[in-house]
Structure 1
Amino acid sequence: MSIVYLNGSFIPMEEAKISPLDRGFLFGDGIYEVIPSYGGKMVGFGPHIDRMIEGLAALEIQLNWSHDQWRDLCQELINLNPDPQVGLYLHVTRGADTKRHHPYPAGVTPTVFAMPTAIPAAPIPQRDKVNAYKVTTMQDHRWKKCNIKSISLLGNVMHYQQGYSQGSDEVLLFNEQGELTECGACNAYIVKNGTVITPVLDNQILPGITRLIALGVLREDGSIAVEERNVTREEVFDADEIWISSSSKEIAPVTQIDGQLVGDGKPGPVWEKAAQLYSAGKFNY
């Protein structure tokens, strides 16, 4: 039985209750984060909380928690749910009003919920041991503020389900100009001639924390060139390697796209080196 946090109390999951008038339930009016923890050590805690604070500000949700308050909550969840690897799901909504009404209500207390979620063990950064992914491509039909990590994920879910129903593990999304944006639940990268290329951050793309850490460790090491720029569909299909990244997948190789092999159909050498650098540095952020 998992112990969760809800509005000031740590309680069994079965006892957690939220009003049906909560605006998260009615409108998807809220922000969330998932922070991976391995052996009690969190990955990217500071950047995750920074992104949550920025998202809350973008939605004008008034919750003035410090990093220390979030850290104490997360640490207590780790202590109460001592799994070797766990994702700490943090969820803040505007709260429950007395009626269903579209404008932001005044004087409403935000709902704060947090729970442990099962995540796989950290991937092994070796070409012959890692799980590779198959992806399907499609046009990006999500809303125009994907840089906000909103709990309103229906567009992502529909894309993800469309790919899943076709036997894929993820989707690669392209905007109306034929440029790569991201995935249903991951950031995306290509490798060409030894250079890692990933779309520049804008309103179409979530600023992923794994992406932040990965690019940081690659630039600190300096042995692999990195570019942030627009990536065309043609470049994706001509890539030597394709990667995706998220908090639970870390950096993962893609070996099939729309049924075609990527490169030789095996995880590439640039991915292997980058994944090893990420593994060595991921707890430093």
Structure 2
Amino acid sequence: MTQVYLNGRFINQQDAMVSVMDRGFMFADGAYEVIPAFYRVPFRIDQHLARLDFSLSSIRIENPLTHEQWRGVFDQLLAENAGEHQSIYLQVTRGVAADRNHLWPKGLVPTVLVMTSPLKMRLDESLSDIQGITAMTTEDLRWKRCDIKAIALLPNVLHRQRAEEAGADEAILINEQGQVTEGSSSNVFIVKGNEIATPPKTMPILGGITRDLVIELLQAGTQYKLSERMLLQSELRNADEVWITSSTKEICPVTMLDSQPVGNGNVGPVWHDIAARYQQYKLQLAADYRKNPPI
């Protein structure tokens, strides 16, 4: 039976219930994180918890748990639930109010939910079987504080649904200035010649944990020029390679954009290089986990 953590208790998922007056239900008033775990050990947990701190402070919710307490919750769920590799979902809302009112009353106790699910994840350096995905561009309809990982995801849902109905795997969002922001649930990179470019972390863009790791790997010593700058839609269309990144998608090559091939229509050599470095990073961590399991 799958276990979840809800407001201080570990219970069966089917028994987990929250009040209809929870402000997360009424107003999408809360924040969340998604954290991959390899061999039941959370990946880049410090970075995820730091981003959670930022999101909660930005919407004026005090973090209800310390980092040590979050780790303890994750460890117990990962140990009890099925899957050597799992995805952790955590959500914190402002809590349950007595009535529906845009103003929040003082003294609310945040609602805390953590659950996990099995995660299909590559942990080897063989990338020859990777096929590119398709993407479409669409107008960015989201709010101006996308740097907050808020649970109010209706625009993202609509973008992703539109892509699905158009036969695409992801929607890449374009703002009113004709600039690339990000995907419906991912960050965006392009390759042109020797340059790898991605939009900078500003308020319209979520600071992706995988995005940051890709940048770390590029800065660790590669032959490529890294640029964090705004990208025009025309640059996206004319790129040699396009990638999207996220904690669950990792680094995913886009080979078709708006029904047109990206570059030559194949998974590109720069992607193969950086994706291999990413896999090597994970494999080294996995080896360290097996050699010295966290206590």
TM-score of the aligned structures, taking structure 2 as reference length: 0.93
CA distance in 2, matches of 1:191, 1:153: 29
Within-5 A mapping of 1:68-217: 68-122=68-122, 126-217=126-217
Moved more, 123-132 or 212-221: 123-132
Any conservation in 2 of the 1:127–1:267 contact (CA below 8 Å)? Answer: no
Q: Over aligned residue pairs, what C-alpha RMSD do you find?
A: 1.5
Q: Which AA in structure 2 matches 1:172?
A: I
Task: Note the alpha carbon deviations across 1:230-284, whole angstroms, 9 max, x for none.
Answer: 1111111110000000110100100000110111211111001111111222449
Any conservation in 2 of the 1:123–1:249 contact (CA below 8 Å)? Answer: no
CA distance in 1, matches of 2:201, 2:236: 17
Task: Note the alpha carbon deviations across 1:197-235, whole angstroms, 9 max, x for none.
Answer: 000111111000010111111111333321100111111
CA distance in 1, matches of 2:124, 2:202: 31
Structure 2: give runs of 5+ residues left out of the alignment: 287-295
Moved more, 58-67 or 235-244: 58-67
Task: Note the alpha carbon deviations across 1:122-175, whole angstroms, 9 max, x for none.
Answer: 276555311421001111011111110000000100011011100000011111
Any conservation in 2 of the 1:127–1:268 contact (CA below 8 Å)? Answer: no
Percent identity for Structure 1 against Structure 2: 39
SS of 1:203 mapped into structure 2: coil
Moved more, 147-156 or 40-49: 40-49
- Superposed displacement of residue 65, structure 1: 2.3
Q: Which AA in structure 2 matches 1:267?
A: V
SS of 2:231 mapped into structure 1: coil
Q: Larger relative contact order (C-alpha < 8 A, sep ≥ 6)?
A: 1
Matching residue of 1:32: 32
Task: Note the alpha carbon deviations across 1:88-113, whole angstroms, 9 max, x for none.
Answer: 00110000011111112211100000
Any conservation in 1 of the 2:88–2:114 contact (CA below 8 Å)? Answer: yes
Q: Which AA in structure 2 matches 1:26?
A: M
Instruction: Specify whether residues 122 and 32 from structure 1 end up closer, same or farther in structure 2 by C-alpha distance, changes over 3 A only.
Output: same
Instruction: Specify whether residues 134 and 250 from structure 1 end up closer, same or farther in structure 2 by C-alpha distance, changes over 3 A only.
Output: same
Matching residue of 2:50: 50
Any conservation in 2 of the 1:127–1:269 contact (CA below 8 Å)? Answer: no
CA distance in 1, matches of 2:174, 2:207: 17
SS of 2:70 mapped into structure 1: helix
Q: Which AA in structure 1 matches 2:257?
A: I
Matching residue of 1:13: 13
Number of residue pairs the alignment of both structures matches: 284
Q: Which AA in structure 2 matches 1:109?
A: V
SS of 1:206 mapped into structure 2: coil
Q: Which AA in structure 2 matches 1:181?
A: T
Q: Which AA in structure 2 matches 1:244?
A: I
Matching residue of 2:291: none
Matching residue of 2:252: 252
Matching residue of 2:262: 262
Matching residue of 2:275: 275
Structure 1: give runs of 5+ residues left out of the alignment: none
Task: Note the alpha carbon deviations across 1:17-54, whole angstroms, 9 max, x for none.
Answer: 10000000000000000100121222111110000011
Q: After TM superposition, what 4+ stretches of structure 1 lie above 3 angstroms from structure 2?
A: 123-127
Any conservation in 1 of the 2:40–2:84 contact (CA below 8 Å)? Answer: yes
- Superposed displacement of residue 84, structure 1: 1.8
Any conservation in 1 of the 2:127–2:276 contact (CA below 8 Å)? Answer: no
Moved more, 120-129 or 76-85: 120-129
Q: Which AA in structure 2 matches 1:117?
A: S
Any conservation in 2 of the 1:123–1:250 contact (CA below 8 Å)? Answer: no
Task: Note the alpha carbon deviations across 1:174-206, whole angstroms, 9 max, x for none.
Answer: 110100000000000100002210001111110
Matching residue of 1:41: 41
Any conservation in 1 of the 2:21–2:99 contact (CA below 8 Å)? Answer: yes
CA distance in 2, matches of 1:143, 1:123: 36
TM-score of the aligned structures, taking structure 1 as reference length: 0.96
Any conservation in 1 of the 2:191–2:242 contact (CA below 8 Å)? Answer: yes
